[in-house]
Structure 1
């Protein structure tokens, strides 16, 4: 019986190995550096080899597979936890006692996840004198590993890392600060445990003496990067940064008032269980749903050709097919044709077995509206209202996602390789607005009914940008983040937060043009796409 159980356990590990991609394996290797000799990790190329070593050292066995669960949790492959009988909450509860990955290693990994490709390129350039002369393109984890091997980075030496972040990504300094504060807090607690009782009593604060008490972890609360979705309809504008990145918010603001004299230590995220997990939309039906893509490239009258849009449409099709949706693409549709297609899908019986609707519109636009190829405008709200519960009952209570790649305002200046998804200004005559000035910008709105999500490429009144060969910033970021974060069990709102962060960091070659996406929603539950069995399209041959 033991032999059968052992084979079953190894079979589970083998299935996990097959589900982990190259980046996942690299992440697991990095997290294991403090309990697997680096010389052995260097030659390991699969998760299977890592698991075998952990078994050989009795770090993992079928009776106690927690370390595997911890690693999967750290790399956010939460959907794989169930293979070992764990939930996310159970892993969080056990981490303080059974966790193997050091706080220092966790901090470096969190930092690496926040590095963009541009950040990494800048870091490699700045550190070129410390890196191997003949060097292939490296990941952020590989860069950190090289710095550790050269003794330029360690648990007690974070100076170079902080200087690097100061130069290329100051907003990431709060991750390091949070780790250092936690380390000091842990040290203080340990000293309190070992100090004589008289000393421990003396250090208990009372009245004004509490000002000299050390600040413990949790005294300053840093909001996470997830968005605060409190109202039934929430609109997010601007990049989301941690509290600690604001130079005007200082620790002393939290000290000196009676209610903050000696704040109790807040339970950190890993040591507390979730108070109440929000419910999830049902996404395990016989049909995941349909994805409608309207890809308008060629226009009449004053509107220019949207070169590069085909790349967006192809990428969207690949990603949503990978997510299990049936994709239907409509190229170059007039306003009348678009409305006719929407009316047809509004009355379709296909929604009865579908989990969701996704609709992507790639076109020129103005404030709250998009153009058909006949240069006529359609209000975005009208497009979405075809699928309200009243007009499309079969989609009632099901999530309806709309992603709009179009400008929402005007601007005359263009970059060489970036084209605004609005007017072709080179062919805009002096009387192009002879009917009068445009009305004042209004926020794009969505139906007041529940279960809608609207992802706009840009905030109202501004241009969105499109590379004539590589596609738009927004759609390319959306497709990249879906492929990266769906396998980690992230919900759609968390993914769109990452899309906001990605796009907000981009700029034209002169660093002058920027863009900020804007999600709005009336979702009532978390939307989590089931993890596909196939690797993401970006990893497929």
Structure 2
């Protein structure tokens, strides 16, 4: 796809299995349904005109290297980053269970470090737990662990011209099903429907509403909800998925 035909670039980074390094003990649980999520996202975003790269089960260094590479690539109308892993507030875990701070990834794409992304809208979607609380408001699997970390503002260190959307609210778990995560699957549903032509804030509001009001966890932890939330420092309306 030539640059003039490309709507933008999209990077999908997902961790489905975790393996501690030699000599370390313990491992995070396998995340079932991840491949369903990323395969569908790859197809949906590609059809919408994005040049998509998919990276599965990578290390912290590899994740940062992927962002570094993207920061030097010519961009289209917008840049999309989708992260799917176990996590906690302000971080996700790599293939080895090593924490990767989200603010470090944002910093790579900041205008002073990535001139080619300066002024380009950046959309971040994060499917990962942000704590251990269950939303009173699936399955028994969740995308988190028992490690605690200090919470920080959603927008702290967020590059200019960005939108950041989490699958759950601060301090709460995000659910991952064998059939895929409700957050990312619902996003795909919207992007495959007429809603893709809406302004971005309207799409994200509908995404949050659909997850919050149509999903309820099942199994051992049945009856809990999930409330996505997002923050933005965009200064103009954006139609990143509209097709003419």
Structure-2 separation of matches of 1:418 and 1:491: 35
Which residue in 2 is equivalent to 1:295? 14
Which residue in 2 is equivalent to 1:514? 225
5 Å-filtered alignment, 1:142-291, equals: 285-291=4-10
From the superposition, tell whether residues 485 and 386 of structure 1 become closer, same or farther in structure 2 (CA, over 3 Å). farther
Which residue in 1 is equivalent to 2:130? 408
Which of 491, 498, 512 is the aligned partner of 2:206? 498
Structure with higher Rg: it is: 1
Q: Tell whether the 8 Å contact from 1:486 to 1:528 is kept in structure 2 after alignment.
A: no
Which residue in 1 is equivalent to 2:22? none
Q: Does 1:484 align with 2:193?
A: yes
Per-residue CA deviations over 1:59-104 (Å, capped at 9, x if unaligned) read xxxxxxxxxxxxxxxxxxxxxxxxxxxxxxxxxxxxxxxxxxxxxx
Structure-2 separation of matches of 1:522 and 1:496: 14
Instruction: Say what the alpha-carbon RMSD is for the aligned residues.
Output: 2.3
Aligned-residue offset at 1:411: 4.9
Structure-1 separation of matches of 2:50 and 2:149: 38
From the superposition, tell whether residues 449 and 339 of structure 1 become closer, same or farther in structure 2 (CA, over 3 Å). closer
Aligned-residue offset at 1:442: 2.7
Which residue in 1 is equivalent to 2:171? 461
Structure-2 separation of matches of 1:446 and 1:333: 25
Which of 305, 310, 313 is the aligned partner of 2:38? 313
**TM-score (ref. length: structure 2):** 0.87
Which residue in 2 is equivalent to 1:445? 155
Structure-2 separation of matches of 1:480 and 1:515: 17
In structure 2, stretches of 5+ residues that fail to align are 20-25
Structure-1 separation of matches of 2:115 and 2:160: 13
Which residue in 2 is equivalent to 1:356? 78
Q: Tell whether the 8 Å contact from 1:380 to 1:444 is kept in structure 2 after alignment.
A: no
Q: Which has the higher strand share?
A: 2
Aligned-residue offset at 1:448: 5.1
Which residue in 2 is equivalent to 1:475? 184
Structure-1 separation of matches of 2:231 and 2:194: 20
Q: Tell whether the 8 Å contact from 1:381 to 1:444 is kept in structure 2 after alignment.
A: no
Which of 359, 368, 372 is the aligned partner of 2:94? 372
Q: Which has the higher helix share?
A: 1
Structure-1 separation of matches of 2:63 and 2:241: 30
Q: Does 1:421 align with 2:143?
A: yes
Secondary structure of the structure 1 residue equivalent to 2:208? helix
Structure-1 separation of matches of 2:80 and 2:110: 14
Aligned-residue offset at 1:383: 1.0
Which residue in 2 is equivalent to 1:524? 235
**TM-score (ref. length: structure 1):** 0.40
Secondary structure of the structure 2 residue equivalent to 1:389? coil
Secondary structure of the structure 2 residue equivalent to 1:465? coil
Aligned-residue offset at 1:397: 1.1
Query: How many residues align structurally?
Result: 231
From the superposition, tell whether residues 448 and 315 of structure 1 become closer, same or farther in structure 2 (CA, over 3 Å). closer
In structure 1, stretches of 5+ residues that fail to align are 1-283, 426-432, 534-541
Q: Tell whether the 8 Å contact from 1:405 to 1:474 is kept in structure 2 after alignment.
A: yes
